[in-house]
């Protein structure tokens, strides 16, 4: 908002701030383009243009990774970066429309539109963040459990290398192996903010750990002392033992839940374990700012870190039709982007965006929104000093 005293617009302040950011990467990219792509034809006046496209421009040209960031093909070198885009092209956990296996590639493709410079966010990700594309995890189509093991091992590798994982699904069954790759390395409780139209907390769906089940297996089932398990709908004795020991249900906040795909068993588990369920109506009545504040309070209470799980179907299918289980009445894009920016301000240990299913998409709208969710989170983490190297980019003059 405009400054109350001077009346100066945020945009004007942000433009000044961006002026202070070095453009070293930009210059390096131009030099690299000219070296690898050769000098342009004589009639081209702008001599920063190369003969063969090797950088961001033209956005529609070239062979692109996420944000045209370096491809970290030798994964042993991933620790040289601050954040890594990791594709998890798996949709065997889908219970309705498949197609999310094409999500990581679709988000890569549309990301080429962006160069990481945001006036509204007062941030230049290309300069202020060492981002790479780590490629995709080798999933096993048709085998959920083997894929979970591959995913947890891969995510663990990225996380323990000191790199912020940007996990791009794939369906929401991945929530469990994703967190399982991170939480065991955190010395303390991990809060989870889960933004979705669906509660995704039942034990099994059609006899397997499908995309309707991740939070049953992630949050632990022994958080409630004195709970009478025998009276529950899902009164399995082993429920005492499931889940990750440092992911207590009281730190699990589920936002945007609603619609008519009710998940009776998932709701029973949420009730039993005491996760916080904030419906779409709750968010509407609270407003985005208050909803985010409450979610942060709950997720961070006695926790060391917070993980963000963003299901693209939390955004209304009028804007995000490319998804497997659409549910009208969800967040508007501007609300979703504000919500994730507010959440990211306090820092995150990792993030996932799931359920982008390009076969049902229109004009790449859904994959573009998924890309924006990632960028708005990365931008906020960078401006808040939780990620990247903002200080190093400031001009020394």
Binding site for Mn ion (CB under 5 A): 196, 198, 311, 313
Rounded to a whole number of angstroms, the minimum distance from the CB of residue 97 to Mn ion is 12
Rounded to a whole number of angstroms, the minimum distance from the CB of residue 337 to Mn ion is 18
Nearer to Mn ion, 50 or 219 (CB): 219
Nearer to Mn ion, 154 or 201 (CB): 201
Q: Which residue is nearest to Mn ion (CB)?
A: 198
Alpha-carbon distance of 323 to 345, in angstroms, equals 27
Nearer to Mn ion, 313 or 316 (CB): 313
Rounded to a whole number of angstroms, the minimum distance from the CB of residue 323 to Mn ion is 8
Nearer to Mn ion, 111 or 173 (CB): 173
Rounded to a whole number of angstroms, the minimum distance from the CB of residue 69 to Mn ion is 28
Q: Which helix (H) or strand (E) holds 17?
A: helix 10-19
User: Angle at the Cα of 182 (from 80 to 390), degrees rounded to 5?
Assistant: 40
Alpha-carbon distance of 159 to 165, in angstroms, equals 6
Nearer to Mn ion, 150 or 263 (CB): 263
Nearer to Mn ion, 130 or 327 (CB): 327
DSSP 309-367: EEEGGGB-TTT---BSS--SS-B-HHHHHHHHHHHHTT--SEEEEE-B-GGG-STTHHH
Rounded to a whole number of angstroms, the minimum distance from the CB of residue 311 to Mn ion is 4
Rounded to a whole number of angstroms, the minimum distance from the CB of residue 343 to Mn ion is 18
Burial string for 258-284 (b: 16+ CB within 10 Å, else e) reads bbebebebbbbbbebbebbbbbbebbe
Rounded to a whole number of angstroms, the minimum distance from the CB of residue 151 to Mn ion is 18
- What is the arrangement of strands in the sheet containing 350-354, beginning at the earlier edge strand? 131-136, 83-88, 164-169, 350-354, 303-311, 189-195, 252-257, 276-279
User: Angle at the Cα of 94 (from 172 to 253), degrees rounded to 5?
Assistant: 25
CB 74, CB 135: distance < 8 Å? no
Picking from 205, 204, 217, 198, the residue whose alpha carbon sits closest to that of residue 311 is 198
Nearer to Mn ion, 311 or 352 (CB): 311
């Amino acid at each position: 908002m405009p400054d109350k005293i001077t009346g100066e617009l945020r945009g004007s302040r942000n433009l000044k701030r961006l002026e202070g950011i070095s453009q070293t990467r930009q210059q390096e990219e131009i030099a690299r383009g000219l070296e690898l792509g050769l000098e342009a034809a004589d009639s081209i006046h702008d001599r920063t243009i190369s003969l063969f496209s090797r950088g961001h421009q033209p956005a529609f040209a070239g062979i692109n990774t996420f944000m045209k960031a370096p491809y970290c093909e030798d994964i042993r070198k991933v620790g040289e970066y601050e954040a890594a885009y990791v594709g998890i092209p798996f949709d065997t956990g889908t219970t309705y429309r498949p197609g999310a296996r094409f999500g990581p590639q679709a988000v890569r493709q549309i990301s080429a539109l962006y160069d990481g410079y945001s006036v509204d966010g007062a941030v230049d990700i290309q300069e202020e963040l060492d981002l790479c594309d780590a490629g995709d995890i080798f999933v096993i189509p048709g085998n959920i459990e083997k894929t979970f093991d591959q995913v947890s091992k891969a995510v663990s590798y990225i996380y323990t290398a000191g790199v912020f994982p940007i996990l791009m699904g794939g369906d929401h069954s991945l929530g469990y192996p994703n967190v399982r790759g991170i939480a065991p390395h955190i010395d303390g409780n991990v809060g989870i903010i889960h933004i979705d139209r669906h509660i995704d907390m039942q034990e099994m769906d059609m006899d397997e750990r499908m995309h309707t089940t991740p939070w049953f297996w992630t949050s632990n089932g022994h958080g409630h002392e004195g709970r009478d398990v025998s009276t529950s709908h899902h009164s399995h004795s082993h429920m005492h033992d499931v889940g990750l020991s440092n992911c207590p249900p009281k730190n699990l906040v589920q936002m945007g839940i609603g619609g008519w795909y009710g998940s009776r068993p998932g709701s029973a588990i949420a009730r039993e374990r005491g996760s916080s369920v904030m419906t779409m109506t709750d968010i509407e009545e609270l407003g985005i700012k208050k909803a985010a504040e409450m979610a942060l309070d709950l997720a961070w209470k006695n926790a060391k870190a917070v993980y963000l799980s963003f299901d693209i179907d939390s955004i209304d299918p009028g804007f995000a039709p490319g998804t497997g289980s659409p549910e009208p009445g969800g967040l508007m894009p501007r609300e979703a982007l504000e919500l994730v920016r507010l959440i990211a301000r306090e820092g995150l240990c990792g993030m996932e965006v799931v359920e982008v299913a390009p076969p049902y998409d229109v004009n790449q709208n859904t994959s573009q929104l998924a890309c924006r969710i990632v960028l708005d989170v990365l931008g906020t983490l960078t401006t808040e000093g939780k990620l990247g190297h903002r200080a190093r980019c400031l001009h020394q003059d």
